[in-house]
Amino acid sequence: MRKYRGILAVSVILALFIVPVLIAQVTKPEGRRFRGVALEETQFTEIRFWNSAQDIDLSGMLFAPSGEGPFTAVVIIHGSGTSMRNNAWYLTLAQYLQEKGVAVLLPDKRGSEKSAGDWRSAGFEDLATDTLAAIQYLKDQETVAISEIGVIGMSQGGWIAPIVASRSPDVAFLVSFVGAAVTPQQQLVYEENLNLRQMGFLPGISNVVAFMSTAYIKNVGQKEFWDAIEGFDPLPYWKQVTVETLVLYGRDDTNVPSADSAEILRELNNPRIKVRIYEGSGHALADPIELGDSIIRDDVLEDIREFMRVVAEHP
């Protein structure tokens, strides 16, 4: 009897864990290749600026439009992890805005490329001071004539953008590009759960495993970073946002709970916060399947530019 119980237990494990994952991996479709702007295709000026609040030497690229200006300007706030200058996602947005008459400051994230410091030990409030320093640089420089300055928070940068907007009177507008409005813990569980589903884990099983994998990430794999952002909640900062704001989500995002985030922001009943969800796109807001291969879909780029145009005309 014990023998059969053992066989039954192994069969259950195979049926619930291993077999679905193996099937998913065998039948997994080939990954998509997206088209974006390469670094060598861009025109920019090397810049350096100083974060006086935390004594950090920072670098970046200034994408200035042609003409005399004055121009609307934006500071891009990076997403998670180390950020490289050849990131096509950022460069595609930067070049598009530059060609549409917007000056773009794309910093080297703290601890990346030519910037000093270490993002791994920095909380979001710390990283916000880097963006505040970039805004000050735009105000002080005399090379490019600037009319108003805004920020674009990309992914994880969407947690930082409302901090910056709540602390600086110089921010004229805010764009959150697939930035979560839930807490980092909630976002991580969501992402891990969806990652496991994509690997082939069954619903329910993936939820259980996700809690274990997130515990590992927080306490072992990325402990220093998670210690730095422990307890962070973006909602108090969103409640302080008073500038015109555009929040963009993809319906099929497997990194950020777009529906939950959109609901949180809409419940603030702030008429200045406009939320848009794009059907058929995931976290990068790339072209939907079979409708193109752009890393950022055209209507998203156009919506961002139109939003900035309206803000500039009605400050």
Tell whether omega for the bond before 70 is within 30 degrees of 0, i.e. cis: yes
Tell me which of 212 and 113 has the higher pLDDT.
Answer: 113
Domain of 254? 32-183+232-313
What is the pLDDT, as a whole number, of residue 30? Answer: 59
Q: Which amino acid is at 52?
A: S
Give the three-state DSSP class for 55: coil
pLDDT of residue 204: 74
In a domain, 203, yes or no: no
- The domain total for the chain is 1
Domain contains 135: yes
Cα angle at 217 between 114 and 215, to 5 degrees? 155
Query: Is the residue at 88 inside a domain?
Result: yes
* pLDDT score of 21 more than 60: no
31: confidence class by pLDDT, cuts 50, 70, 90: low
C-alpha angle with apex 184: 191 to 297, nearest 5 degrees? 55
| CA pair distance 237, 239, nearest whole angstrom | 5
pLDDT band at 18 (very low <50, low <70, confident <90, very high): low
C-beta separation of 103 from 308 below 8 A: no
> Strand, helix or coil at 177?
strand
- The pTM of the full predicted model, rounded to 2 decimals, is 0.89
Asked if residue 13 has pLDDT above 70, the reply is no
Instruction: Provide mean pLDDT across the span 151-180.
Output: 98
Assigned domain for 219 exists: no
* Span 36-50, average pLDDT: 96
Evaluate whether residue 19 is within a structural domain.
no
Q: Is the pLDDT at 35 greater than 60, yes or no?
A: yes
147: domain CATH number? 3.40.50.1820
Tell me, yes or no, whether 214 lies in a domain: no
Give the pLDDT score at 203: 74
How large is the C-alpha radius of gyration of the chain? 21
Average pLDDT over residues 218-224: 92
| Residue 222 is assigned to a structural domain of this protein | no
More confident call, 4 vs 160: 160
13 is a domain residue: no
Helices and strands in the chain: count of H runs, count of E runs: 11, 8
